[in-house]
Amino acid sequence: MAVAAVLAVAVVVTTSSPSEKRFARYNSRDLDEALTCVVALASLAVVLACIQEQPKQAQAAQLVPPKVHAAGVAPASQGQAHPVFAQSANAIASGPALVQFKAALASLVSGEGTSPVRILWLGDSHTAGILWPATFESALADAVGSGGPGHIPLGLAYGRYHGARVSSDDGFDVLPHPPAKRAVEDDGVFGLGGTRVTPRGKTLGITIKLDSSTSVGTVTGQLLYRYKVPTDKVAVVAEGKRVDITSAGTTAFPNGVRAQTFKVNAQAPFEVRVISGNPELFGVVVENERPGLVVDVLGINGARFATPLAWDENTWTSLVRWRNPTLAIIAYGTNEVFDLVSPKHYEAEIEKLIGRIRSAAPDVDCMLAGPTDVGRGGEIAEARVHEIDQMEAQVAEHLGCAYFSPYRTMGGAQGFDEWLHATPPLAVSDRIHLSGAGYKKLGQAMADSLKPSAPRQAHRE
């Protein structure tokens, strides 16, 4: 039975499902290419040896975690909630955790806030599928207002992204390959979102149509790019007017990355057009003129905690400092369920990632969001979800971060099957991903304990 269970875990798994293709950012084959039968068999001896070292009674007791019917959120410490927030037994955090974020939201509610409240959200395909973070943002923006879509990647093979629809020529090379790669590739400079695209020797265009639900009036855009040679040239074209992107008036970052500011009408599509050469593009950031909530959704299919650690630290932390987030959400763990290492292995990676973010934004609040329950991989995967959920909760407390548990929100062990057979279904048949309704349920549960109890006041000029 142990052999069958290990092989079940080692069967090809990834957090990129066919049902998500129209929502997800990438079509990564990170796990599909890595977990082959040969690797599974080679790892089997190591796993069985580790199992044999454990007392049999302890092993039996840990195989199936207890059913959990608790709330899906856990405070990092106890204290009193901010007065403008609804009281809730399911509060994600109180006391020192998320104090800055809640206060910033409260300032938007009162009309006193003059700056956007930004969230940096890193994650795997549960994040890349858009619906989880978008529902979370929408629930809060009802009270505080939207500040725009934030970061939008460019040149990738997808048509939908958080706050925008994007159409692109297919003549771009994308690095790293695959985007979820956990080893340094080339110079490691991949912008804020972990990818860079380069045209293959011809002029190309990328058209962005902003969603009216997040963008209004005149919006400010900032193109992230890098020129390697003098002949590289890119422009932004909006309503027949072209703005050439030059080094003059740009914000400079390490390793030649720059940000050029432009303004466009939110109701009209605009184009990022490659004029000549092979300029490298790292995405655009779009925000409204009026302050509100902005979520930079940085999800990558197949990603793990180690994925952003493979990006050039100096460049990435400089970009995080530039974005100046009030809250960082780190939402990994489901891909780690199918690894063959102890959950304790990830503790150092989490601390290192949070450390990088805090080096760029010392006052940032942080939240870890753990794995969802899964419906494949047998008892070993079932036990690992439980163990990784516990590990992340403990690390969050140790680091002073809040913790959100999708696993507990789904009901704990066997929760995936309950969501799969719910009406309407909250999970899908690949037995890893959730349905649209399921991701919306996660987003709403996450937002409920942070949503201000009073509506936003009129903006003060």
Checking 432-437 for CB contacts under 8 A at 24+ apart, the result is: 432/13, 432/14, 432/15, 432/17, 432/334, 432/372, 432/374, 432/375, 432/376, 433/15, 433/17, 433/19, 433/20, 433/125, 433/126, 433/129, 434/126, 434/372, 435/19, 436/131
Query: Has residue 109 got a pLDDT over 80?
Result: yes
Max CA separation in the chain (angstroms): 72
Please list the residues that pair with 272 across neighbouring strands.
Answer: 206, 236
Helix 313-323 / helix 345-360 crossing angle, nearest 10 deg: 60
Query: Minimal CA–CA distance to 241: which of 261, 264, 266?
Result: 264
Domain 1-147+290-452 class, CATH top level = alpha beta
Report whether pLDDT(86) > 50: no
Q: What is the pTM of this model?
A: 0.83
| Higher-pLDDT residue of 171, 349 | 349
- According to DSSP, residue 53 is labeled H
User: Is pLDDT above 90 for 246?
Assistant: no
Q: Does domain 152-289 have CATH number 2.60.120.1360?
A: yes
Q: What is the rounded distance in angstroms from the CA atom of residue 39 to the CA atom of residue 154?
A: 35
Taking residues 249-266, report their average pLDDT: 94
Report d(CA 351, CA 311) in Å as an integer. 16
Q: In which residue ranges of the chain is CATH 3.40.50.1110 found? A: 1-147+290-452
| Mean pLDDT calculated for residue range 381-389 | 97
pLDDT average, residue stretch 225-248: 91
Q: What's the count of helices (H) and strands (E) in the chain, helices before strands? A: 14, 19
pLDDT given at position 412: 94
- Identify the band that residue 32 occupies on the pLDDT scale cut at 50, 70 and 90: very low
Sign of the Cα torsion 119, 263, 161, 267 reads positive
Q: What percent of the chain has pLDDT over 70?
A: 77
Contact between residue 144 and residue 453 where contact means Cβ atoms under 8 Å apart: no
Report the distance separating Cα 449 and Cα 443, nearest Å: 11
More confident residue, 29 or 379: 379
Span 414-425, mean pLDDT? 97
Residue 457 pLDDT level (bands cut at 50, 70, 90)? low
Supply the mean pLDDT for the chain: 82
- pLDDT exceeds 50 at position 83: no
Would you call 322 helix, strand, or coil by DSSP?
helix
DSSP β-ladder status, 402-404 and 365-369: parallel
> What pLDDT, on a 0 to 100 scale, did the predictor assign at position 169?
79
Three-state secondary structure call for residue 224 = strand
Residue ranges, CATH 2.60.120.1360, the chain: 152-289
